Amino acid sequence: MNAAARFGLIIIGDEILSGKRQDKHLGKVIELLQARGLALAWARYLGDDRALITEALRQVFAGSDVVFSTGGIGATPDDHTRQAAAAALGVELALHPEAKVLIEQRMREVAAEQGVPFEPDRPDNLQRLQMGMFPQGARIIPNPYNRIPGFTCLGPGGAVVHFVPGFPVMAWPMIEALLDTEYAHLHGRGRQHERSVIVLRALEATLTPLMERIEAQFDGVKVFSLPSVDHPEYGRHIELGVKGPAEAVEAAYRELLQGLQALGQTLGPELVR
């Protein structure tokens, strides 16, 4: 995995889009990445629509991003992610041998907890094995919560897509473990520094040429503008700033302040993140 790898997130489930459940994955994944000096480049929400998921995954597999996909990997009729991943890659689903062992181990544990014999050929137990049907060539992602694994697939464009359950109690430890093993060598390479200033009663159109000049002058630096029209303390204002590598940010910020002063802008507090 090269140092320029981008991280993406796909969140799947009708219950999120309908408002029945509030998404918790986006904020948590951002938190997990930031704690390791990494950043989320993009995120996408999808409903439980197999054709839609297939097309989205086909696009992802053609790229080179590292993507975490949450939800839809169960074995009920509204779970489509495993089938969509296989279709996007043009391969068949097959029972993964390691997944089979793990799922059967979990079923034995449940049977023991219930005080009943384990019957591997019972219809409901055979149905549970469907959760180990992964696209051919996939490798498993261990699930410390209940042993039912997720899976990882590689795309022809170099993309790596990690599929985990939609349950936060399962998904978050699985994602965290991946970040600390497979992507430990990238830690710190996406860390961004920010410097910004409150520009009082400013107009974005007036500031845009300065913003464009700063971005063109300083490689790797992004300029951002966060306007507000009714702030309780500052009223109408713009938080104008730069973000990027620390050394570049400091120089770009000095240039930004000089440009604002040359434009006669009224400046408020400065912010550091």
**Res 141 pLDDT > 70:** yes
pLDDT tens for each residue of 99-109: 999 999 999 99
Do 142 and 13 share a domain, yes or no? Answer: yes
The reply to whether 170 and 206 lie within a common domain is no
pLDDT at residue number 245: 85
Backbone phi, then psi, for 167, in 5-degree steps? -75, 120
Place of tokens 């104008």: 240
Domain membership of residue 205 as a residue range: 193-272
Neighbours of 35 (CB within 10 A): 11
Same domain, 258 and 143: no
**pLDDT-based confidence at residue 246 (cuts at 50, 70, 90):** confident
Facing residues of 238 across strands? 199, 227
Judge whether 1 lies within some domain: no
Place of tokens 């996007």: 88
The pLDDT of residue 273 = 76
Both tokens assigned to 213: 């000049």
Indicate which CATH number applies to the domain containing 40.
3.40.980.10
Q: What is the pLDDT of residues 180-212, one digit of tens each?
A: 999 999 998 877 889 999 999 999 999 999 999
Cα distance between residue 149 and residue 143, in whole Å: 5
Last residue of a domain, one of 147, 168, 186: 186
- Quick check: 4 and 190 in contact, CB under 8 A? no
Are residues 248 and 214 in contact, defined by beta-carbon separation less than 8 angstroms? no
* Residues 165, 212 within the same domain: no
C-alpha distance from residue 227 to each of 71, 190, 266 (Å): 35, 26, 15
Mean pLDDT of 121-149: 94
| DSSP character string of 171-210 | HHHHHHHHHHHTTGGGTTTT--EEEEEEEET--HHHHHHH
CA distances from 65 to 41, 116, 155 (A): 9, 46, 10
Q: Which of 162, 186, 210 is the last residue of a domain?
A: 186
pTM of the model: 0.87
